[in-house]
Amino acid sequence: MSAEAAWPGVVAVVLVSLATLAIGTWGLRVSRTTSDFYVASRSVRPGLNASAIGGEYLSAASFLGVAGLVLTFGADMLWYPIGWTAGYLVLLVLVAAPLRRSGAYTLPDFAEARLDSKRARGVCSLLVVTIGWLYLVPQFEGAGLTLGAALGAPAWVGPLVVGAVVVVNVSAGGMRSITFVQAFQYWLKLTALLVPLLVLLVVWVGDRGRLPAPATGDDAWSLPLGGTGVGDLYTTYSLVIATFLGTMGLPHVVVRFYTNPDGRAARRTTLVVLGLLGLFYVLPPLYGALGRAYGVSDDADTLVLDLPRLMVDGLGGDLLTALVTAGAFAAFLSTSSGLAIAVSGVLAQGATRRRPGTGEVRAFRLAAVVAVVVPLAAALALPDVNVARAVGLAFAVAASTFCPLLVLGIWWRGLTAPGAVAGLVVGGAGALAGVAWTVAHPQARTWVDVALGQPAAWTVPLAVVTMVAVSRATRDRIPRHARRFLVRLHTPEGLGLEARTGR
């Protein structure tokens, strides 16, 4: 790659990083208390909060991964973006308002408040860190891919730049400043995908609309479930279950719900998020289809970055590439920031509990460094994995653990601490076994590979059954305040029954 072709991309990456730091620093001036750090003092309006959730949620997997998967595997892969959006509908109807009304700051807080158990809290903390790190590794790898494809930089530059910006931003401003940063980044990502796509579609029409799938021989690509085996059907449904149910268990998503002023606002925020995500997810598959039409076959993960240069010659192509590079970079920054906040929040709480007296804000800043450095090292050490698939496994773990905990905890009085812990351990172990197996055996050959490659279809029911069965067996351990807690979760605000919030 010539230095001339790379400079618009370099400028774009520098601009996005500077804008992120500038907005973050501006947020620092209004961010002073612990409550600001964790949940932006619970005062974020639905429109802003929804943009921030969208900005945080649309990760490397959405921006780069989906187009690449559609390019390689065809229409089956449309289920990834559908699941990532529908997950918010499931979250909306099952947990949005009650979760906000629970008055807890994090998932471990929720578990402790609902179940009155330090052990349940500990298991949840461990899971938050696990899921957060699982999700962070592909973000860092995506950053390496992007800077490599757009600027010709070595693979370690991207992860280091993203890691550094995230640590500075998170430890400087906490949740409040991040809210503004992420709201900005949603709109940046949408623009960065939409504008080049419109140009490319015009070019495509100019080329007399070559069809995505050639008429002969390649029909399977444009059809969902082009393969006819039962395994394909299982994999698709397992993916649907993981994404539909996993969204509510992602630590960086859940923490955002505590920043809503009340339960009603939490619902309305979620509804706006549904709209924003739908708007965005129409775009990446079109990149995949265009890539197919123009005969791109390898480098699936960098398709979105390569396509503008392939279809448009000269400076125009370079500028469009710069724009998508900026969007991709925003995707890594915002998702990594959100995950780093969630993980460091849990780490900091754990540390200050062990050693009371440590300044909370200082603990949060230290935890932010740890939260970023560990997955950064993993991303640099591990060979590159498919970004969207890796994120899919994080969803499977979240769906098999936090989804049953939240749904049963919110809707069923009979949940006990032993039941919850047993379910979390069983579901988490099953899904993590799937992750480990898939890393060791990337090619699916036998039904064991298929079942473990996409484990949610059996780990979610297993976790639910375990939670219910063990809770029934330990009926005497139902927390005494369980009924009163459910009252708090479900009664609307304004009746004087809101949960008292600590801190």
Partner 1 sequence: MSESEGARPARVRVTGPDRRHRPRPAVRDLDDDTPLGGLYLGSLLREQRRLALRVLVALALSVGVWPLVFWLAPGLAQVRVLGAPLAWLLLGGLVYPWLVFLGWRYVRAAERTERDFAELVGEVEQ
Is 197 a binding residue for partner 1 by CB under 8 A? The answer is no
Q: Round to whole Å and give the CA distance between 2 and 313.
A: 14
Helices 46-57 + 263-281 axis angle, to 10:
50
Exactly one of 222, 378, 465, 477 binds partner 1 (CB under 8 A); that residue is 222
Asked if 82 touches partner 1 (CB under 8 A), the answer is yes
Does residue 458 interact with partner 1 by CB under 8 A? no
CB of 226 to partner 1, least distance (A): 8
**What's the first-to-final CA gap in the chain, in angstroms?**
54
Q: Mask: binding to partner 1, 260-279, rule CB under 8 A, as x and -? A: ----x--xx-xx--xx-xxx
- Residue count at the site for partner 1 (CB under 8 A)? 52
Count H helices, E strands: the chain?
23, 0
When the beta carbons of 92 and 340 are compared against partner 1, the nearer one is 92
Of 396, 284, 288, nearest in space to 331 by CA: 284
Between CA 408 and CA 152 the distance in angstroms is 49
With a CB cutoff of 8 Å and minimum separation 6, the contacts of 478 are 413, 414, 415, 416, 471
Backbone angles phi, psi at 356, to 5 degrees: -60, 150
Site string for partner 1, 281-300 (x = CB under 8 A): xx--xx--x-----------
Least spacing, CB of residue 475 vs partner 1, in Å: 18
- 332 to 111, 205, 323, 438: CA distances (angstroms): 29, 32, 15, 24
Spatial CA neighbour of 399 closest among 371, 435, 372, 449:
435
Rank residues 89 and 366 by Cβ distance to partner 1 and give the closer one.
Answer: 89
Shortest Å, Cβ 388 to partner 1: 16
Which of the residues 117 through 156 are near partner 1 (CB under 8 A)? none
Contacts (CB under 8 A) with partner 1, residues 402-431:
411
Tell me the closest approach of the beta carbon of residue 261 to partner 1, in angstroms: 15
Phi, psi values for residue 208, rounded to 5° = 60, 35
As a dihedral over the C-alpha atoms of residue 28, residue 30, residue 36, residue 42, rounded to 10 degrees, the angle is -130
Range in contact with partner 1 (rule: CB under 8 A) among 223-231, 346-354, 378-386, 431-439:
223-231
User: Is residue 228 a contact residue for partner 1 (CB under 8 A)?
Assistant: yes
- 249/344 Cα distance (integer angstroms): 17
- Provide the mask over 41-80, with x wherever binding to partner 1 is found by CB under 8 A and - wherever it is not: ----------------------------------x--xx-
CA distance 487 to 81: 35
CB 435 within 8 A of CB 456: no
CB 457, min distance to partner 1, A: 12
Q: How many C-beta atoms lie closer than 10 Å to residue 229's C-beta?
A: 10
Does 490 participate in binding partner 1 (rule CB under 8 A)? Answer: yes
Site string for partner 1, 91-110 (x = CB under 8 A): -xxx--x-------------
Name the residues that contact partner 1, by CB under 8 A: 75, 78-79, 82, 85-86, 88-90, 92-94, 97, 219, 222-225, 228, 232-233, 236-237, 240, 244, 264, 267-268, 270-271, 274-275, 277-279, 281-282, 285-286, 289, 411, 483-484, 486-487, 490-492, 494-497
